[in-house]
Amino acid sequence: MYQLINKFIESAKEIEGDVFPFLANKKSFNPETDSVYYSGPYWDDEEISEMIHSIFKGKWLSSGEKVSKFERQFSKKFGFDHSVMVNSGSSANLVMIAALKKYFEWEDGDEIIVCACGFATTVAPIVQNGLTPVFVDIDWQDLNWNLNEVEAKISDRTVAVISSPVLGNPYDMDTLVNICKNNEIKLIADNCDSLGSKWDGKYLTDVAVAASCSFYPAHHLCTVEGGMVSSNIKEIVDLARSFAWWGRDCYCVGQQNLLSCGTCGKRFDKWLDGYDGIVDHKYVFSQMGYNLKPLDMLGGIGSVQLAKFEEIHKIRRSNKEKIGEIVSSIPGVRVVGENKRSETSWFGVPIICDSKELKESLVFFLEKNKIQTRNYFAGNILLHPGYKHLDDAEKYPNANQVLSKVFFLGCSPTINNNMIDYIAATVERFKND
């Protein structure tokens, strides 16, 4: 089947030329007509072939054997015992917090410490699960949260901190681990931007009780949409899976889903206390869940992407260095670097401008020249309509300056050397403007 699909892809290319725009991006760049996208799927024929194969050969099309295989491969690669794939990083955060709350028996109103600056759906799942986010300001040096403030915000209701390094760039993880140990609270990782980042040679997620990840096109691995929850505690991943699969009690996945007696060996049994009869385990609901399952095709693409992770990591690091050097030649601009003990798997190139005027004029100039820029996500999340009721944004003065002085450029492997040369020429024009 793969042979036939590959023939089709080759014919499509012969007839249509560059049929997949993101593949074309890897090879050529015409500054007259093309944009420098900040990220995108770093795919080639293999991912397309896998996608088509899933449709032709898939028995169920929804989450199945390919997803199950990707979960196992992802766990092995990043040092987890268990993982469950879902349909986005936001869904991963939602079911991860739900699972942790249930597993550790956290109560409504218990507190989780989170950075005031970052992505919206790092914070939302805390509230959506009946817990209370407690915010911390950032440090202007690397834009990561201020660890002294993390410690100062711990109260007798604090159950966890959720760590999400800025654009994947780790801060002093030893200090955070000690804070958590000394105060007997859990360290949760929103690892959506930091897949593969290391502190002292170890993945950041090694010290977390659970970790989430995103496979949206902006991220290190792209399955179009997709996310993962991982942990070394099986019950946490089983709970996360249950929340993502309608809240069902049954945990049959992949090939095991085809066992007539179920993974537990007693699929048809007296499962309900209040009903004296045989019930199918597949329709026993032990949580109030959601449906956040991924398509099986996404698992197939995930496996292909995972095999390219080291290449992606290397190019992201090299692109960050090259683009960072170009941009930091602008007077009044600073590019955040990595700590000596880190090996950052960069999500983007973090750029700090001396003033609001400089940021605005630089962003405008780059965008006008078709070089995509991005805000550091929400800036202070407490400035946003959906979040402002949670706390007073004014209490976080550094976070408040992020929207006016910080932005980022991409460093995705879809950005090739021709594009980097174009960025350099554009920056020179900006300096001489």
Ligand X SMILES: Cc1ncc(COP(=O)(O)O)c(C=O)c1O
Beta carbon of residue 274, minimum distance to ligand X (angstroms, whole number): 37
Residue closer to ligand X by CB (options 103, 216) is 216
Residues that bind ligand X (CB under 6 A): 88-90, 93, 118-119, 121-122, 164, 190, 192-193, 214, 216, 218, 227
Residue closer to ligand X by CB (options 90, 344) is 90
Show the CA angle centred on residue 323, arms to residues 90 and 88, nearest 5°.
10
142 closest CA partner among 165, 173, 120, 116:
165
Cα separation, 423 vs 416, whole angstroms = 11
- 3-class SS letters over 169-210: CCCCHHHHHHHHHHHCCEEEEECCCCCCCEECCEEHHHHCCE
Cα separation, 241 vs 92, whole angstroms = 10
Beta carbon of residue 58, minimum distance to ligand X (angstroms, whole number): 23
Beta carbon of residue 167, minimum distance to ligand X (angstroms, whole number): 9
248 closest CA partner among 280, 287, 277:
287
Beta carbon of residue 347, minimum distance to ligand X (angstroms, whole number): 7
The DSSP-derived string for 102-138 is: HHHT--TT-EEEEESBS-HHHHHHHHHTT-EEEEEPB
Beta carbon of residue 164, minimum distance to ligand X (angstroms, whole number): 5
Instruction: Give the max Cα distance, the chain.
Output: 81
Residue closer to ligand X by CB (options 118, 302) is 118
Beta carbon of residue 408, minimum distance to ligand X (angstroms, whole number): 11
Amino acid at 102: K
Residue closer to ligand X by CB (options 22, 119) is 119
410 closest CA partner among 327, 332, 353, 341:
327
Tell me the residue number closest to ligand X, measured at CB. 89
Beta carbon of residue 61, minimum distance to ligand X (angstroms, whole number): 21
Q: How far, in Å, are 3, 76, 82, 120, 296 from residue 49 at the CA level? A: 9, 24, 28, 34, 14
Paired with 371 in beta bridges are 36
Residue closer to ligand X by CB (options 253, 298) is 298
Confirm whether 219 is a catalytic residue: yes
Residue closer to ligand X by CB (options 219, 322) is 219
Cα separation, 248 vs 256, whole angstroms = 16
Residue closer to ligand X by CB (options 163, 242) is 163
SS3 state at 355 = coil
Instruction: Give the ranges where 28-64 is alpha helix by DSSP (H).
Output: 45-57
Beta carbon of residue 248, minimum distance to ligand X (angstroms, whole number): 23
Cα separation, 399 vs 404, whole angstroms = 10
353-358 contacts at long range (C-beta below 8 A, 24 or more positions apart): 353/405, 353/406, 353/407, 354/405, 355/405, 356/404, 356/405, 358/332, 358/333
**How many other CB atoms sit within 10 Å of the CB of residue 351?**
24
Residue closer to ligand X by CB (options 122, 319) is 122
Q: Which of 219, 220, 281, 313 is catalytic?
A: 219
SS3 state at 149 = helix
Q: Which residues are catalytic?
A: 219
